[in-house]
């Protein structure tokens, strides 16, 4: 499936990792861990987005297929009714119009 315009590239997300606090090394490690978590969540969201679009496409195809089946049955019924009308006209020698 092609990428959708609403997909977000991971490189577009920038976190502010330049803030320093009292616990320099621990703070950087926690920020890097936070960044990895954000990237992981972003990947999950992108995967979910693609899955949802695929499901919507699948459901839309099913809906269109079912609608076409209903239309086909209606057309076939109309043809059968016209044939029956023609047979009855011949049988009774009448012209009921079409």
* Tens digit of each residue's pLDDT (9 = 90 or more) over 36-81: 899 999 999 999 999 999 999 999 999 999 999 999 999 999 999 9
DSSP codes, 26-57: HHHHHHHHHHHHHHHHHHHHHHHHHHHHHHHH
Q: Measure Cα distances from 65 to 43, 49, 59, 68, 79 in Å.
A: 33, 24, 10, 5, 21
Task: Tell me, yes or no, whether 53 lies in a domain.
Answer: yes
Task: Tell me, yes or no, whether 15 lies in a domain.
Answer: no
Task: Tell me, yes or no, whether 6 lies in a domain.
Answer: no
pLDDT at 34: 87
Task: Tell me, yes or no, whether 49 lies in a domain.
Answer: yes
Task: Tell me, yes or no, whether 63 lies in a domain.
Answer: yes
Q: Which of 34, 36, 44 is nearest to 8 (CA)?
A: 44
pLDDT tens-place string over residues 10-40: 455 555 555 555 555 566 667 778 888 999 9
Residue 73 is part of which domain span?
23-92
Task: Tell me, yes or no, whether 4 lies in a domain.
Answer: no
Task: Tell me, yes or no, whether 40 lies in a domain.
Answer: yes
Question: How many domains are there within the chain?
Answer: 1
pLDDT at 2: 54
């Amino acid at each position: 499936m092609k990428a959708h315009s609403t997909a977000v590239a991971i490189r577009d997300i920038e976190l502010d990792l330049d803030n320093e606090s009292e616990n320099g090394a621990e703070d950087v490690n926690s920020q890097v861990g936070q960044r990895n978590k954000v990237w992981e969540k972003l990947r999950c969201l992108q995967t979910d987005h693609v899955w949802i679009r695929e499901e919507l496409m699948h459901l839309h195809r099913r809906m269109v297929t079912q609608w076409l089946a209903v239309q086909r049955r209606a057309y076939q019924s109309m043809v059968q009714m016209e044939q029956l009308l023609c047979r009855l006209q011949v049988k009774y020698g009448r012209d009921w119009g079409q």
